[in-house]
Amino acid sequence: MKATIYDVAKEAGVSIATVSNAINGKGKVSRKRREQILEIMERLQYQPSVIASALMGKQTYTVGMLIPDISNPFFAEIARAVEDRAHQEGYSVIICSTDNRDERVERYLTLLQQKSVDGIIIGTGIEDLDILRRLQANGVPLAMIAREAPALSVDTVVTDDETGGRLAAEHLVSLGHRRLAVLAESRKVSSSRERIRGFREGLSAAGIALEEESIAVCEYKVEDGKRRALELLALPPEERPTGIFCCNDLLAIGALQAAKEKGIPVPEGLSIVGFDDTILASVTDPPLTTVAQPMEEMGRLAFDRLAACLQRRDSERQRVVLKPELKARRSTAPAPQ
Amino acid sequence: MKATIYDVAKEAGVSIATVSNAINGKGKVSRKRREQILEIMERLQYQPSVIASALMGKQTYTVGMLIPDISNPFFAEIARAVEDRAHQEGYSVIICSTDNRDERVERYLTLLQQKSVDGIIIGTGIEDLDILRRLQANGVPLAMIAREAPALSVDTVVTDDETGGRLAAEHLVSLGHRRLAVLAESRKVSSSRERIRGFREGLSAAGIALEEESIAVCEYKVEDGKRRALELLALPPEERPTGIFCCNDLLAIGALQAAKEKGIPVPEGLSIVGFDDTILASVTDPPLTTVAQPMEEMGRLAFDRLAACLQRRDSERQRVVLKPELKARRSTAPAPQ
């Protein structure tokens, strides 16, 4: 059995508050009493724990991170970057996969507060902003990553999603595509809305309209992307899209699989553009043209914003916007005649 | 400022131990005193935290999980399964990516103990078993996943790696391959040793020897697999391997990229077998033949073993061995004549 602060207090015949003061050199503890307590701590091999410090109102050196799904390579790569930076600074990270479902978000946030985490990085889509407002009211430092909540004053690290969508549109337009469709993530997710907006604007600048029925909203799984892409590709050849912009690489893989199932060659019969540039994009058949996000930098900066927030609670909130980049690989080609 | 147990104790004019007893219905607290304390708790909106419970010597409902790298899809899928099961049971998970480096392992384990985690799932290769022995001596419940430490009495969930290696060998032998090579993970990792052993036995049963110089040990990154595969493929065509068994899917992707760079068609000129069956295996060009591990089941069972360990500290240690399965896709074909 490890000694606790209670054992030390009992042995010294003082309160645990006095032991705490002796450890931290605070309060009115006589030098003699302090030395006596430290000697008892040594004898009992008592190590003040992070937990004890937390109860004393200090930091737990733990942060929570809410993301849709750690098994999505985009979030796994972001999480690794956050973890590495956190670890450098002496923090550890509790990963919470929400599947973008509000009830999972709420349960996890309650849990993280019970654990007195020092702060929370939010990378999940949250429809009900009151959830985040309550956290802020409770004094929980927050940072958003890859998601925005413009109605809140909160540190945010995002890729310029609108520009990303526009880059995808410009690439497809430059290849002569005019019948285009979108595989979108949930509209709950701000990044999805922004990517579609940018894509629509890019088309619009070339005089091409994007019909609402050409936007298929998916769950964020490959199977779901495939299912919705099969619907888009069920149209007769002269009506179906010749290019599909997918709001993440997983959906783009679903689109690749749908095209294969339909016998439509990619890129000759159908061009597909992804988003994220995860490890998946470089190993697909054919490799994916995709809009790259700087994942490592995003994770690092998000932790740094949270850490800044922990140190100066009243500081200015910053919104860091990173540049996306179109990586042309082999899933796009000139539109079929 | 949230009320703490100290505020409640001060207001009630009792010690925090008495407040704790009142909350938990333990010790000698009169009914009247108890009601008075609960009323004060309600008035001050004091919620007993997990942290406070931990200090009282109870559980933190947090477990640690050491893995080589959360951005490796195999571990991301395992971590998601652990997280889901843990969450069902009211636990959360701190993810620690070790890169299989002992100094990172040690730092993380110290950190997890300072945080008083209830137990630790180990999925990383650890050479120095004294590290784990010290944890057990400190009373930290452990469960191993995808790794073994036969010298220790510890709950373990693994795939039958030896059988997995043998399945790969039998598949390649049945296709007529006789010049074979291996891209291996670090020999520190028990699963890598077992897979090679099974592969060697499978070949040996067909009268084929696996030379030591045909086993290339890699870091677990795609780039490293590619680099080592380029070395293997640098031999003249009549000497170079016609089949490569890769100890995970990432290395197999490296081998695919190396073959492409060398202009060797897969599978016509070179067959490649992976291991894991992550999402990567089904999206490569061509899709990977690979030995599938039941990742979701492994994660779930590992948490359950740890939970059993938490509940009955003296229980028997179990070793759960799950069956691998060869999934033949398009990266393997009859050996070139």
Cβ B92–A115 below 8 Å, yes or no? yes
Same domain, A165 and A265: yes
Q: What is the mean pLDDT of residues A93-113?
A: 88
Cβ A60–B69 below 8 Å, yes or no? no
Of residues A62 and A56, the one with the higher pLDDT is: A62
In a domain, A329, yes or no: no
| ipTM confidence score | 0.78
Same domain, B75 and B124: yes
Provide the whole-model pTM. 0.80
- Indicate the pLDDT class of residue A234, thresholds 50, 70 and 90: very high
Q: Does B176 touch chain A (CB under 8 A)?
A: no
Same domain, A16 and A129: no
Same domain, B282 and B172: yes
Whether pLDDT at B301 is above 60: yes
Q: What is the mean pLDDT of residues B26-36?
A: 78
* CA–CA distance, B283 with B45 (Å, rounded to integer): 53
Q: What pLDDT, on a 0 to 100 scale, did the predictor assign at position A270?
A: 98
Same domain, B76 and B135: yes
In a domain, A55, yes or no: no
- Indicate the pLDDT class of residue A47, thresholds 50, 70 and 90: low
CATH code of the domain covering residue A39: 1.10.260.40
Q: What pLDDT, on a 0 to 100 scale, did the predictor assign at position A201?
A: 97
Same domain, A188 and A265: yes
Whether pLDDT at B264 is above 70: yes
State phi, psi for B182 to the nearest 5 degrees: -130, 135
In a domain, B314, yes or no: yes
Whether pLDDT at B111 is above 60: yes
Same domain, B299 and B155: yes
Same domain, A128 and A200: no
Q: What pLDDT, on a 0 to 100 scale, did the predictor assign at position A69?
A: 92
Same domain, B147 and B219: no
In DSSP notation, B227-248 reads HHHHHHHTS-TTTS-SEEEESS
Q: Does A94 touch chain B (CB under 8 A)?
A: yes
Q: Does B248 touch chain A (CB under 8 A)?
A: no
Q: What percent of chain A clears pLDDT 70, i.e. is strictly above it?
A: 93
In a domain, A44, yes or no: yes
Burial class (CB in 10 A: 0-12, 13-18, 19+), B247: buried
Q: Does B84 touch chain A (CB under 8 A)?
A: yes
* Residues from chain A contacting residue B2 (CB–CB below 8 Å): 138-139
8 A C-beta contact, residue B70 and residue B79: yes
From A89, A118, A51, select the one nearest B115 (Cα to Cα): A51
Structure confidence by residue, pLDDT tens digits, A164-211 = 999 999 999 999 999 999 999 887 788 899 999 999 999 999 999 999
Structure confidence by residue, pLDDT tens digits, B286-297 = 999 999 999 999
Q: What does the buried/exposed string (b/e) look like for A310-330 if buried means 16 or more CB atoms within 10 Å of the residue's CB?
A: beeeeeeeeebeeebebbebe
* Residues from chain A contacting residue B284 (CB–CB below 8 Å): 283-285
Q: What is the mean pLDDT of residues A38-60?
A: 67
Structure confidence by residue, pLDDT tens digits, A9-43 = 888 888 777 877 777 666 677 888 888 888 888 78
CATH code of the domain covering residue B225: 3.40.50.2300
Q: What pLDDT, on a 0 to 100 scale, did the predictor assign at position B27?
A: 66
Quick one: closest CA in B to A330, which residue? B285
Cβ B83–A70 below 8 Å, yes or no? yes
Beta bridge partners of A96: A66
A70 closest CB neighbour out of B51, B70, B286: B70
Of residues B39 and B252, the one with the higher pLDDT is: B252
* CA–CA distance, B190 with B209 (Å, rounded to integer): 22
Q: Does A185 touch chain B (CB under 8 A)?
A: no
Whether pLDDT at A3 is above 80: no
Residue A122, SS3 per DSSP:
strand
* CA–CA distance, B231 with B337 (Å, rounded to integer): 22
Highest mean pLDDT: which of A107-116, B20-29, B140-149? B140-149
Q: How far is B78 from chain A (nearest CA, A)?
A: 8
Q: What pLDDT, on a 0 to 100 scale, did the predictor assign at position B314?
A: 56
**Segments forming the whole domain that contains residue B39:** 5-48
Same domain, A288 and A300: no
Same domain, B170 and B287: yes
Same domain, B165 and B271: yes
Q: What is the mean pLDDT of residues B245-264?
A: 95
Q: What pLDDT, on a 0 to 100 scale, did the predictor assign at position A313?
A: 56
- Indicate the pLDDT class of residue A52, thresholds 50, 70 and 90: low
In a domain, B335, yes or no: no
**Count of domains for chain B:** 3
Structure confidence by residue, pLDDT tens digits, B8-20 = 888 888 877 787 7
If contacts are CB pairs under 8 Å, which of residues 304-333 in chain B contact chain A? none
Q: What is the mean pLDDT of residues A263-271?
A: 97
Q: What is the mean pLDDT of residues A293-307?
A: 95
Paired sense of beta strands B319-322 and A119-122, if any: unpaired
Q: What is the mean pLDDT of residues B55-71?
A: 82
Sheet with A271-276, strands from edge to edge, namely A215-217, A180-184, A243-246, A271-276, A289-292, A325-327
In a domain, B336, yes or no: no
Q: What pLDDT, on a 0 to 100 scale, did the predictor assign at position A5?
A: 73
Structure confidence by residue, pLDDT tens digits, B149-196 = 888 889 999 999 999 999 999 999 999 999 999 999 887 788 899 999
Whether pLDDT at B57 is above 70: no
